[in-house]
Chain A
Amino acid sequence: MEASRLSTSTRPDPIETPDTAFFWAAAARGELAALACADCGELRHPPRPMCPACHSTRRVERRLSGRGRVLTWILPRHPAPIGFAEPPVVALVDLAEGIRLVSNLVGVAPEAITVGMPVEVEFAPTTSGRAVPVFRPVR
């Protein structure tokens, strides 16, 4: 097994589908990406194979700034989520580019989280050495 495939993380791997593989491939490179329409430029998430604005199937990956703001968050306590030693902070993050992601907040105590708090992306490994984007408050 390659060294890069070794991971001590128990976080579940992303579920890849033909239309979402680019997102997880970008995350594995340490990049946050979204799909944009190659014809009209509309950015969209969750990704889909056709632009709902102009119906083009031509699409391009766009690298995002990784900056956003917390919309809301929860702590799933019971039953314990698979792959997490402690309940993760699950959040909705509104990205600067205008799309919304489900992710985790790291490096912050739940009682210190506020709606609208600015956050920036970093990447957390998964059990098979993949990666997912998570967010940390901007210092």
Chain B
Amino acid sequence: MAREGRETALAGIGATEFSKRSGRSELQLAAEAVKAACDDAGIAPAEIDGLVTFTLDPSDEIGLIRCLGVRDLAFTTRIPGGGAASVATLHQASAAVAAGAAEVVVCWRAMNERSQLRFGQPQAGGAFAPGSGTSSLLWCMPFGAQTPGAWAALRARPYLDAFGVTNRDLGRVSVVQRGYAARNPAAWFHGKPITLEDHQASRWVVEPVLRLLDCCQESDGGVALLVTTLERARRLRQPPVRIVASAQSIPAEVEVISSYYHGDLTSMPEAVGTAERLWARSGLGPGHVQAAMLYDAFTPQVLMQLEAFGFCGRGEAKDFVADGQLALTGRLPVNTHGGLLGEAYIHGMNSIAEGARQVRGTSPNQAKDVEHVLVSCAMAGAILGRA
């Protein structure tokens, strides 16, 4: 399918350090990350004319452009659904630039998610009102499912049971990603690989699905991504990372994390929908992708996305992982920065930055002969490629 509008590129990536206590405001983290993305691209912050973030981000656009010295914003939007917004920010920034609504759009996410509002702590009150994109969480709270881990485990278990996936199988995802993190100086778990035995010895968070080492971190930090036209990106500081295709998919009755209402829970319809659109728009398939960054708040999500995108058959992801295919020597290196488990939990945005590094050839765990990288948060995805 021919692409509509102008070609777009991810021309700059920026981040703060990833920590457990940043010691500064979330707005400051956002401003630092955006400035870093501008510096990476070689664009003055004043040239930003579009901003995209999550509905959940605590900083506002006006506060941010006051920091950055932006003259006049032409385009803003916010995306619901927690981490499902991550790759959707890139998709919508790309769509805005392709359509000519803006020229330099920055996507950001910044939070003190460990030192201020901890997502991993239980909540029983009304914080999950409609508008968060996860409105049916209200059906979970009075039953004691009050954390992302509980919601995700209840969602994942029918898949795990249908295909005989054990917690030990999930542990292999964690082990390979912590291996990547161990070699990534920016990762919180730099220098701290784990073994499968370490994983199996970690305490149950949600029995019998998730142990501690199946769960992402809680992190302080910020990440920003600068999107502009491919034509302009060719004249900027970095080798351009082309946004070959991008897509969202929110199928009927599917929710973000408490997704229990769409019938068959042994597959991930939102990732299947995203995959269909990405392959159709790009003319590519799973065989054309040399690395993938798959949203990994919890290990089962990695297996389900591998199947949805067709990297292996239904029920085969546990064997794909056990055969070592997620390693640098395997067929599809996955989450080579360490993922949200190993590097940091910046709500998926740091995984998009790693996708860009793989295309540029600057990953701390560089895959070989990279032409295309998939970045996915299931409800949205993008294929990044060499220009």
A-B contacts at CB below 8 angstroms, number:
119
Chain B at the A interface: SS class: loop
Q: Is the pair B141, A12 in contact by a Cβ cutoff of 8 Å? A: yes
Interface members, chain A 61-80 (any B CB < 8 Å) = 71-80
Interface members, chain A 14-29 (any B CB < 8 Å) = 14-15, 17, 20
Chain A at the B interface: SS class: loop
- Select from chain B the residue with minimum beta-carbon distance to A90: B145
What is the size, in residues, of chain A's interface with B at 8 Å between Cβ atoms?
38
Q: Is the pair B143, A103 in contact by a Cβ cutoff of 8 Å? A: yes
Q: Which of A12, A20, A74 has the most CB of B within 10 A?
A: A74
- Given A81-B146, A132-B143, verify A46-B129 contact (CB < 8 Å): no
Indicate with 1 or 0, residue by residue over A69-99, a CB within 8 angstroms of chain B CB atoms.
0011111111111111001101010000000
**A-B pairs with lowest CB-CB distance, top 5:** A81-B144, A12-B124, A88-B144, A15-B138, A76-B150
Residue A59 is within 8 A (CB to CB) of chain B in the complex: no
Residue B260 is within 8 A (CB to CB) of chain A in the complex: yes
Residue B197 is within 8 A (CB to CB) of chain A in the complex: no
Q: Is the pair A79, B207 in contact by a Cβ cutoff of 8 Å? A: no
Residue A136 is within 8 A (CB to CB) of chain B in the complex: no
A-B contact pairs, 9 of them (CB 8 A): A14-B141, A15-B129, A73-B157, A74-B157, A74-B207, A79-B147, A90-B140, A102-B139, A102-B154
Q: How far is the CA of A108 from the CA of B72 in the complex (A)?
A: 62
Q: Is the pair B141, A15 in contact by a Cβ cutoff of 8 Å? A: yes
When distances are taken between beta carbons in the complex, the residues of chain A under 8 Å from B265 are 71-72, 92
Q: Is the pair A76, B145 in contact by a Cβ cutoff of 8 Å? A: yes
Q: Which of B136, B154, B204 has the most CB of A within 10 A?
A: B154
Q: Is the pair A79, B121 in contact by a Cβ cutoff of 8 Å? A: yes
A118: min CB distance to chain B, Å: 18
Contact of B146 among A75, A76, A134 (CB under 8 A): A76
Q: Is the pair A79, B122 in contact by a Cβ cutoff of 8 Å? A: yes
Indicate with 1 or 0, residue by residue over B151-182, a CB within 8 angstroms of chain A CB atoms.
00110011001000000000000000000000
Task: Give me 19 other A-B pairs in contact (C-beta within 8 A), A17-B129, A90-B150 excluded.
Answer: A11-B144, A15-B125, A46-B136, A46-B139, A72-B161, A72-B265, A74-B145, A75-B206, A81-B150, A82-B122, A84-B144, A87-B207, A90-B143, A90-B144, A90-B154, A102-B154, A102-B260, A126-B142, A134-B143
Contact of B124 among A45, A71, A75, A83 (CB under 8 A): A83
Indicate with 1 or 0, residue by residue over A97-130, a CB within 8 angstroms of chain B CB atoms.
0001111100000100001000000000010000
Residue B209 is within 8 A (CB to CB) of chain A in the complex: yes
Residue B50 is within 8 A (CB to CB) of chain A in the complex: no
What is the size, in residues, of chain B's interface with A at 8 Å between Cβ atoms?
41
Contact of A45 among B143, B205, B208, B261 (CB under 8 A): B261
Which residue numbers of B lie inside 8 Å of A, CB to CB?
120-126, 128-130, 136, 138-147, 149-150, 153-154, 157-158, 161, 203-209, 212, 252, 258, 260-261, 265
Q: Is the pair A78, B203 in contact by a Cβ cutoff of 8 Å? A: yes
Q: How far is the CA of A133 from the CA of B337 in the complex (A)?
A: 44
Q: How far is the CA of A81 from the CA of B141 in the complex (A)?
A: 9
- Select from chain B the residue with minimum beta-carbon distance to A87: B144
When distances are taken between beta carbons in the complex, the residues of chain A under 8 Å from B203 are 77-78
Q: Is the pair A76, B147 in contact by a Cβ cutoff of 8 Å? A: yes
